[in-house]
Structure formats: C-alpha cells, structure tokens
Amino acid sequence: MGTEKVNMEKTTHEGNQFYALRLVNTPKRYKIIRNWLLGVLGFFFLVLFLPWQQNVQGKGKVTPLRPEDRPQVIPSVIAGRIEKWLVQEGQLVAKGDTICIITEVKDKFFDPKMISRTSDQISNKQDAVKAKLDKIGATQKQVAALKNGLRFKLEQSRNKVKQMRFKVEAERAALDAAKINYQMAQDQFSRLDALYKKGLASLTELQNRNNKTQEANAKLVESDNKFNSVQNELINAEIELNAVEADYIDKISKAESIINEATGELFESRAEISKMQVELSNLELRANFYVIRAPQTGYIVKAMKSGIGELIKEGEDLVTIMPAHSKMAVELYVRAMDLPLMQIGTPVRIQFDGWPALVFSGWPDVGVGTFGGLVQAVDRVNSTNGQFRVLVVPDPADKPWPELVRAGGGIYGWAMLKRVRVWYEMWRQFNGFPPDFIAGFEGAPKDAKGQK
C-alpha cells in the first residue's frame, strides 16, 4: 500500500511537470484538416497552370441560312372574298398546292365571260385595222394612178400648147404675107390709077386692079382673124394646162388626206388593241390570282384569316408557311468590343435551348451537349439591341446539329479564341483586358496573295 501510493504521487508529479508541453502539440484531427487545406491549395496552384480556352459569349437564336428558307407570309395579290380553304395549320404542302380559293369583289370584274369578250373585241379591232390597211393600200394605188394620169395629161397639154404656138407662128407669118400682098396691091392700084388719070391705062384694068386690092384686103382680114383665133386657142391651151395640173393636184391631195386620216385612225386602233391586249393579259393573270398556291414545299404555320366569306384586301397576308427543307444557322449577338475578335471561320460552341448540356466554357472538350459551328458572316452594322449579329453555320468536322432544332429557338454560344493559362486568364479579367486575338487561325479569310 505504501509503495503504490508513492508511485501515484510520482506519476502525478511528472504529469504536472509536462502539461504545458502537451498543450503545444497539434491534435490529430487538426492535422488532417491541415493536410486537406494544403492539398486543396496545391490543387488550385496546379490549376493555375492548366490551359484555358478564351472565348466570347453571346446569346441568339436559330434561323434558316438562306433567305428563301425562312418563314414567309403568303399574301393575296388582289382583293377578294375567301371562298374555300383546302389546308389546315401544321399541314405539309408541296410547291404549287392550292391553299385557298377566293372570289371577285369588284364589280368591274363580275362578268364571268369578260376574258372571252375582251378577246372578241380585240379580234374585231384587228379586223378593223386590216380594213383600214386595205383602204390605205387602195387609196395609195389611186394616188399612184392619179400621178401617172397627171403626168400623161400634162404631157398631152404641153404638146397641145406647143402645137398652138407653132400654129400661131404660122398664122403670124401668113398675116405678115397678107399685109405685104395688100400693101403691094394698094401700091399697084395707086400707080395704075395715076396712069388711068393720064389716059395711059383703061378703066377695065383699073377696075381689075381694084378687085385684086379688095381681094388682098379680104385675105389680110381673114389672116388677121385666123391669127387672133389661134392666139385665143393658145391661151385656152395654156389655161387648160394649168387647170389640168390644179385638178389633178386637188384629187391627189384629197386622196393623200384620206390616207393620212386612215393612217391616224390605224395608229389609234393599234393603240387601242395594245391597251386591250394589256387589259386581257391583266384579266388572265388576275384569274390565276383567284387560287392561292404554295410558293414552295413547307408547313402551314398559321392562318392570318379564317372562316368562309371573309373579305381580304390587296396585299393582305393570308397564311405563314415554313419551308420543309431548310439549312439551319445560328444568329449569335456579341458586344461591340468583342466584334474585332469575330472573323469568318472562327470556331463556335453552341448550346441549344431545351437540349441537355454540361458546359465548361474554358474547357470545351470536357463539356457535353454542345455542338460545333463556324462563323459564316459578320454584320457590318449593329442590330436593334445595339449588338452585332454573327451568323454561324454547322461545323462539318463536328457532329451534326439536332434535327429537332426549330427556327426561332434560343441558343447560347461561345466563340473559341486563343488558349492561355488559367492564371493569365484570371489576371486578364482582373485587369479588364480584352481576350487575345488569334492571328492566323485555321479558316481565317485570305487576302489576294493567299496570306491570312
């Protein structure tokens, strides 16, 4: 008993002696926490040296690539009244299929036989034009005949004038001869009368010479009358020549006036025919507009008008159609400060709304549920939201986009840029520096020398 008591006192004394040292030692559970913290710090330190994919993020939507593949509205070219619907919403229609039929509402086009009657009017006008052409042709022949007759008549009249002039000259010569004969007869009578008074000539000789003088005087009067008559005939021939020319010119002018009048009517008729032909073409085209047809194969999305008998205006939308086979693209909207980093051919990762995905923007190879794309075009002006639109198409080297993707669906995209270290990316974002631009990335546009 005494020995045990001594040992207990000794142990108690030693414990009191090393109690402070025991307080300095770290407990085992705290060592485990320390080791975990050091491990985590070491892990984050190693992460700082891992590669990081810089990117430009943006939101957007799915859109058809080609303009003709985008949803379009089918309007009514003319005003009308809906007579019958042949489709329903969601139905697939082929190009040229009838969507609906409309009827006419303008009284100008109520006549069902307007096309045939307009065609008959054109035919009648064409017959009238043919008749005018025949009239013009006949009148032209008449003018040609009148001109030929004028030429011949003028030649005849000129010849007659020439003949009368020759006759006048002949009669003038005869008159001059008669004057000379009469003067000679008078001279002879005077000499004979002088001889008679001297008794050298008989009365009989004097009377005979007087008779011859009277005969010469009669011939002179006769020649003078003939000369005057021929002169009058010459004047009449010249008047007739002028009258013939004036008469034929009057007839020719009247015929040419008829030709000009008929030609003017012909031009008016041809203008009316052209106008009626245009009207006929418009009527035939308008008849085709009574049937609203699908411009291409697609699905009827929504009918803007409903019911039977509803009135529609010119150019008013009837239905919306979505092309059945369209190549999809993505409209990605980025900030203006990120626009210089967007180049044609830049790779993009895309997450579609409603499609399950696990995304690590800096490590695109780790994420799942995203799809690859390439920048197809970059807008040169900003959009209504102040951002710039970037058009992205599927990357042929990546997996194809889901077939269930529809136009108008939302997306979230990352344009992949340069690979850097994590510490550099943290330092860049802390200082607010822009991402590094990839110079000469594969797919960048080339200049005329073939350099990127």
pLDDT tens digit sequence for 246-302: 888 888 888 888 888 888 888 888 888 899 888 888 888 888 888 889 988 999 988
CA distance to 295, 334, 338, 429, 436, per residue, from 341 (Å)? 40, 10, 6, 16, 8
Q: Which residue has the higher pLDDT, 297 or 46?
A: 297
In the chain, ranges of CATH 2.40.30.170 domains: 52-69+326-452
Tell me the average pLDDT across 82-94.
89
CB-CB neighbours of 375 under 10 Å = 21
Q: Look up the pTM and report it.
A: 0.55
pLDDT at 311: 87
- In tens, the pLDDT along 377-397 reads 888 888 877 889 999 999 888
Q: Name the pLDDT band for 68 (thresholds 50, 70, 90).
A: confident
Q: Which fold has domain 114-288?
A: Helix Hairpins (1.10.287)
pLDDT in tens, 14-45: 555 555 555 555 566 667 777 788 888 887 77
Between CA 231 and CA 240, with CA 236 as vertex, the angle to 5 degrees is 150
Angle at 18 between CA 15 and CA 21, to 5 degrees: 140
Instruction: Kindly state the average pLDDT of the residues 340-363.
Output: 77
Domain 52-69+326-452: what homologous superfamily? Answer: Efflux pump adaptor protein, beta barrel domain (2.40.30.170)
Q: Give the helix ranges, DSSP H, for 48-113.
A: none
pLDDT at 116: 85
Instruction: Tell me what pLDDT residue 404 has.
Output: 82
Q: Which residue has the higher pLDDT, 430 or 434?
A: 430
State how far the Cα of 370 lies from the Cα of 373, in Å rounded to an integer: 10
**Is the pLDDT at 411 greater than 60, yes or no?**
yes
Q: CATH 2.40.50.100 residue ranges in the chain?
A: 72-104+290-323
CATH code of domain 72-104+290-323: 2.40.50.100
Residues of the chain with CATH 1.10.287.620: 114-288
